[in-house]
Amino acid sequence: MDGLTKTTNFSRKHGSLDSRLAGIASSLFMKKPVTLADEDDSSANRDARSIVIARSDTPALARSGQGGTLYYKDPNAEGSIAALVAMVYAGQGPVAADPAMLSIIALADRLARTEIPVLINGPTGTGKEVLSTFIHARSDRADKPFIAVNCAAIPETMLEAMLFGHEKGSFTGANAAAEGFFRAADGGTLLLDEIAEMPLSLQAKLLRALQEGEVVPVGATRPVKVDVRIIACANRDLPHEVEQGRFRADLFYRLNVFPISMPALRERPADIAPLAFAMLLRHTPKGERTPWIGDAALDTLRGYAWPGNVRELENVMRRALLLAQGESEIAPHHIVFDMAARPVAQEPATVTPIMDSVVAGVADATPANPAKLSKIVKLSEARAIMDTLESVGGHRANAARALGISERTLRYRLASFREAGIAMGAAR
């Protein structure tokens, strides 16, 4: 466990939690050492990176500097280990508990000690830049620059000059010379995010820079030597892009020395809880108490498909913090998912009574009354569940399977709808 120490009393009094953490912590890494101590351990080094652990009937998180105190009720509960992982690793490196993601982090750590290019593939919002930052931090280049460039965010006409630099007067508006991202990252790491968006003409120049270790600034006649480790990220299928002629095969093979595939969040469900707690810790305003995530709320989070991946989870937890303001625990009604983007042509032609309520809720919603948003989402979820139940003849188990949630979660949702005064059809 890299940088993680535990007092004798912690291991003795919190053995179950300790053993669960051991299987996770062996694959995680942190920037600064942390000490886990029992609340009664007077010998603990209570510095900024100490976390005090205590049993309590009321689970809670309390931050103090970069450490804090964790109160847990059941050592076997998902929330207990998730909160501990979040407190230990939040802000220190990737936060994970799913075996698939732990394997990727362990592999990334091995790759960090090499100089070979790394290609990270995966859907948008899965944490590719976080993993790239981790690789740099664990490399021998950690004390050198880490420069991240989004190839899709820079106009094609400017991308070459931004990457390789330019000489004064080399084009209209070039009133001074600029070194470019490659030279800015000299000695360190250059992240080329969304590399599939790079135009073909520039891909050839990038290939030369990788092969020769030098760049030619726009307007210059002589190459400049650079020492840069390249990490490339893509949310497209690059082999397919090569087949379609949109990405150079020689550049792909140059980058594809050791590819890493980042799974979607729905494919690593054990990561949801620790990431949710980590985001609460990150976004809780200074001086305010971080609420606990209740078991029912965790069930709600696990039952969602997460089309927006980790980025969407962060949005959801920031909303939950707002809606649960002043409360000690986040409940399912505080969980408001992102509304899926869809073409206007796909909007339904008719409006059901439930959707009438949704429209009314939108009309009445104001910034001063954020609870309206929760009501709107609840009505939308009720409509989706009613439609699914109807399609499977009211069979709850089949409906839960079709919705991608547990039958327990479905029962909870149906009960919460009835409590909210939303009429639900018969289900069995």
- The CATH number for 23's domain is 1.10.8.60
The answer to whether residue 108 sits within a structural domain is: yes
> Look-up: residue for tokens 């990737």?
94
Same domain, 123 and 231: yes
Report the interhelical angle of 371-391 vs 407-419 (nearest 10°): 120
The answer to whether residue 30 sits within a structural domain is: yes
The answer to whether residue 427 sits within a structural domain is: no
- Reply yes or no on whether the pLDDT at 264 is more than 50: yes
The answer to whether residue 339 sits within a structural domain is: no
- Reply yes or no on whether the pLDDT at 395 is more than 70: yes
- Reply yes or no on whether the pLDDT at 299 is more than 50: yes
Tokens of 273: 């809880």
What are the two backbone dihedrals, phi and then psi, of residue 113, each rounded to the nearest 5 degrees?
A: -80, 0
Same domain, 70 and 141: no
Same domain, 20 and 79: yes
Summarize pLDDT for 36-67 with one digit per residue, the tens: 999 888 655 555 578 999 999 999 998 877 77
Same domain, 82 and 92: yes
Same domain, 131 and 232: yes
- Distance (Å, whole) CA 145 – CA 132: 13
Tell me the helix, strand and coil percentages in the chain, rounded to 5. Answer: 45, 15, 40
Of residues 321 and 415, more confidence is placed in: 321
- Reply yes or no on whether the pLDDT at 333 is more than 90: yes
Task: Say which amino acid occupies 130.
Answer: V
The answer to whether residue 426 sits within a structural domain is: no
Q: What is the mean pLDDT of residues 216-235?
A: 90
Summarize pLDDT for 172-222 with one digit per residue, the tens: 666 677 888 999 999 999 999 999 999 998 999 999 999 999 988 888 878
The answer to whether residue 428 sits within a structural domain is: no
Same domain, 237 and 117: yes
> Look-up: residue for tokens 């886990």?
36
Same domain, 286 and 276: yes
Provide the residue range defining the domain that includes 213. 100-261
Same domain, 324 and 348: no
CATH of the domain at 110: 3.40.50.300
Task: Identify the domain boundary among 234, 261, 288.
Answer: 261
Task: Identify the domain boundary among 312, 334, 356.
Answer: 334
Same domain, 223 and 351: no
> Look-up: residue for tokens 């520039």?
202
Same domain, 109 and 84: no
The answer to whether residue 425 sits within a structural domain is: no
Same domain, 177 and 112: yes
- Reply yes or no on whether the pLDDT at 112 is more than 70: yes
Phi-psi region of 94 (alpha: psi -120 to 50; beta: other; left: phi over 0): beta
The predicted model scores a pTM of 0.76
Number of structural domains (the chain) is: 3
- Reply yes or no on whether the pLDDT at 235 is more than 80: yes
What are the two backbone dihedrals, phi and then psi, of residue 191, each rounded to the nearest 5 degrees?
A: -95, 120
Task: Identify the domain boundary among 261, 296, 314.
Answer: 261
pLDDT score for 306? 94
- Distance (Å, whole) CA 320 – CA 322: 5
Same domain, 205 and 58: no
The answer to whether residue 89 sits within a structural domain is: yes
